[in-house]
Structure 1
Amino acid sequence: MDSLKEYLQSLESLVVRGEKRKYYRFRPAPFYGGIATADCVGCPLNCVFCWSSYPRKHPQTAGKWYTPQEVFDSLTDIAQKKGFSQVRVSGNEPTVGRTHLMQLLEKVRSSPFQFILETSGILLDREYVEFFSHIKNLHVRVSLKGTCEEEFAALTGRTPEGFRSQLRALQLLVEHEVSCHPAVMVSFSSNEGLRELKDRLSSISPRLYLEEEQVILYPQVKSQLQKAGFMIR
């Protein structure tokens, strides 16, 4: 994972500035029954099925700078206008820029909203998760990139061990009693691979619910998949 760490340092220099982080959009979204969403800029993975590829590929030009307070205010404004009880950071990878996310979560902590953190989990360590354990209105959705190490590498362009980092993140979340669940894109996986993944997740905790999702073929995503030679199951 050394090359990933090096890339992360370079990425953070483009999307993190002190307590500020880059975002490219604030919006209401229909998911989870309705949720206020802040779409952030910058991700250390290169998922072939990514629906938010422009800010991922062009972090130096995409988005604008926002403080945690500005992000919180924008999310709560949308939630209050729409009658939502949930807010989230989505788009690229929310856990890039640890100080920014922690400060944002501190503000959410004293609010009436549930915060859903959508993350690959590869940047989560014990210190990060320990902080999460104190935010009782936080739920973490760990988006697994495939069902195994080989699929992770093929789908993300990163080394296979990144998949084990995802599973370790889930282990830490469970150990620290942070509300969480894994999700996996099954469009590129076999039934056998899915069964084996469920066994691995059960060894972490038999109570983990696995969300199975299918790729949404937005025109841009379809083009990316065709160029990469992927077949959808």
Structure 2
Amino acid sequence: MSVAQPVPGAPDDLRTASVCHHLTGGEGARVFDPLEVARATERVVCRGNQRKYSRFGFTRDYHYGVATGYVVGCNLRCLFCWAAPTRDNVGGEGRWCEPAEAAEELERIARQRRTGFVRLSEGEPTIGREHLLGVLEEVERRASIRRFVLETNGTLLGAEESYVAALARFPKLWVRLALKAGTPEAWTHKTGASPESFALPFEALRLLRRHGLQSRLSVAAMSRDPRFMGQHERVLLLAELARVDPQMVLDLNEEMVVTHPATMRRLAAAGYPLKRYIRVPGLWRWVQVAYRPAGLLGRKHISLRHSLSAVKNLFFGT
């Protein structure tokens, strides 16, 4: 059982990572080293300073809206991922872009939609260091772009401090790092990556702080959704994050899994039972603090708007 078929002739690491029966945790399940998968993916989706993109577009994230470049290829296989099949099928169709071309396309969309925000998303943008640094250099030269959001899982940054140091040179860069799990076992179950790699995103946070990016760093986790993270795992995740910086616990963006069609297909392929809202144990305790629950511990109010949004996502998806 797999979400996307391995590419014929692809490196062995990509073949291993494309096997998705590990998500069920069944006997014979295989795990992989995300750093090896990143190197194997880079050989397919990067050519010198070029990177393969599936498309460019605009979404209404980050309040102001953001011009988005959708990169091909990732080094994790998250079961709740919303990305297109190009996440796994990296050898398929795509558009090869040099850094200047990608930045020009992002700037064009940002101008058209009257926003100063751009980002790379869908795949893992830190795969292909030369291309990413080149895009950032181009962004710094373009006055109409105010902020470049790097959405990352943090595995490559946690493994290489020199990469973080290189990123810290760019004033327009903002990093949004997504934590996937609160324990090594849950990390492997949800992403397919080896338990030993669980610490990499947390190490990335330490390195980002060390190199002065703490004021331009946002941390997110799917810890708001009881269907994918129980309260015990959530507490362990918050404790792990507190070891990096206690303030990050209060600033954590706790999110719910949005049931995009691609997400539902991956969950179905993994045999993962997606519970309907009414059947979730402890439902109302979660709804009451649906928006950034850790950050609300010292506050006197709850966000009705985000609580209703949580109900909508659980009932109907998007």
Separation (CA, whole Å) in 2 of partners of 1:230 and 1:175: 39
Give the structure 2 partner of residue 27 of structure 1: 57
The answer as to whether partners of 1:145 and 1:184 remain within 8 angstroms in 2 is yes
**What letter matches 1:151 in structure 2?**
A
Which residue among 196, 205, 219 is the counterpart of 1:182?
Answer: 219
Cα deviation for residue 231 of structure 1 reads 4.1
Higher percent of residues as strand: 1
Which residue among 176, 193, 197 is the counterpart of 2:237?
Answer: 197
SS at match of 1:74: helix
The answer as to whether partners of 2:82 and 2:261 remain within 8 angstroms in 1 is no
Structure 2 stretches lacking a partner, 5+ long:
1-30, 275-279, 281-318
**What letter matches 2:41 in structure 1?**
L
**What letter matches 2:240 in structure 1?**
R
Give the structure 1 partner of residue 207 of structure 2: 172
**What letter matches 1:46 in structure 2?**
R
Greater C-alpha Rg = 2
Which residue among 238, 259, 278 is the counterpart of 1:217?
Answer: 259
Separation (CA, whole Å) in 2 of partners of 1:228 and 1:2: 17
Task: After superposing the two structures, state which structure 1 stretch, 195-204 or 120-129, moved more.
Answer: 195-204
The answer as to whether partners of 2:33 and 2:197 remain within 8 angstroms in 1 is no
Separation (CA, whole Å) in 2 of partners of 1:86 and 1:79: 7
Could you report, residue by residue, the CA deviation over 1:84-113 in whole angstroms, capped at 9, with x for unpaired residues? Answer: 021000011000000000011111123342
Which residue among 270, 279, 283 is the counterpart of 1:228?
Answer: 270
Which residue among 146, 154, 158 is the counterpart of 1:121?
Answer: 154
**What letter matches 1:174 in structure 2?**
R
Counting only pairs closer than 5 Å after superposition, residues 92-107 of structure 1 correspond to structure 2 as 92-107=123-138
Separation (CA, whole Å) in 2 of partners of 1:231 and 1:196: 23
Give the structure 2 partner of residue 159 of structure 1: 194
Task: After superposing the two structures, state which structure 1 stretch, 115-124 or 7-16, moved more.
Answer: 7-16
SS at match of 1:27: strand
Separation (CA, whole Å) in 2 of partners of 1:76 and 1:130: 25
Pair 1:161–1:53, CA change in 2 (3 A): farther
Give the structure 2 partner of residue 206 of structure 1: 246
Separation (CA, whole Å) in 1 of partners of 2:218 and 2:196: 20
SS at match of 2:247: coil
Cα deviation for residue 155 of structure 1 reads 0.7
Pair 1:62–1:161, CA change in 2 (3 A): farther
Separation (CA, whole Å) in 1 of partners of 2:163 and 2:36: 19
**What letter matches 2:148 in structure 1?**
F
Counting only pairs closer than 5 Å after superposition, residues 11-22 of structure 1 correspond to structure 2 as 11-22=41-52
The answer as to whether partners of 1:40 and 1:90 remain within 8 angstroms in 2 is yes
* Percent identity between the two aligned chains: 35
Q: Do structure 1's residue 88 and structure 2's residue 119 form an aligned pair?
A: yes
The answer as to whether partners of 2:70 and 2:123 remain within 8 angstroms in 1 is yes
Separation (CA, whole Å) in 2 of partners of 1:193 and 1:7: 26
Separation (CA, whole Å) in 2 of partners of 1:24 and 1:91: 9
Alignment coverage as a number of residue pairs: 233
Counting only pairs closer than 5 Å after superposition, residues 61-80 of structure 1 correspond to structure 2 as 61-80=92-111
Task: After superposing the two structures, state which structure 1 stretch, 4-13 or 187-196, moved more.
Answer: 4-13
Give the structure 2 partner of residue 46 of structure 1: 77
Separation (CA, whole Å) in 2 of partners of 1:118 and 1:197: 19
Which residue among 164, 175, 184 is the counterpart of 1:149?
Answer: 184
**What letter matches 1:169 in structure 2?**
A
Separation (CA, whole Å) in 2 of partners of 1:172 and 1:207: 16
Structure 1 stretches lacking a partner, 5+ long:
none
Cα deviation for residue 26 of structure 1 reads 0.5
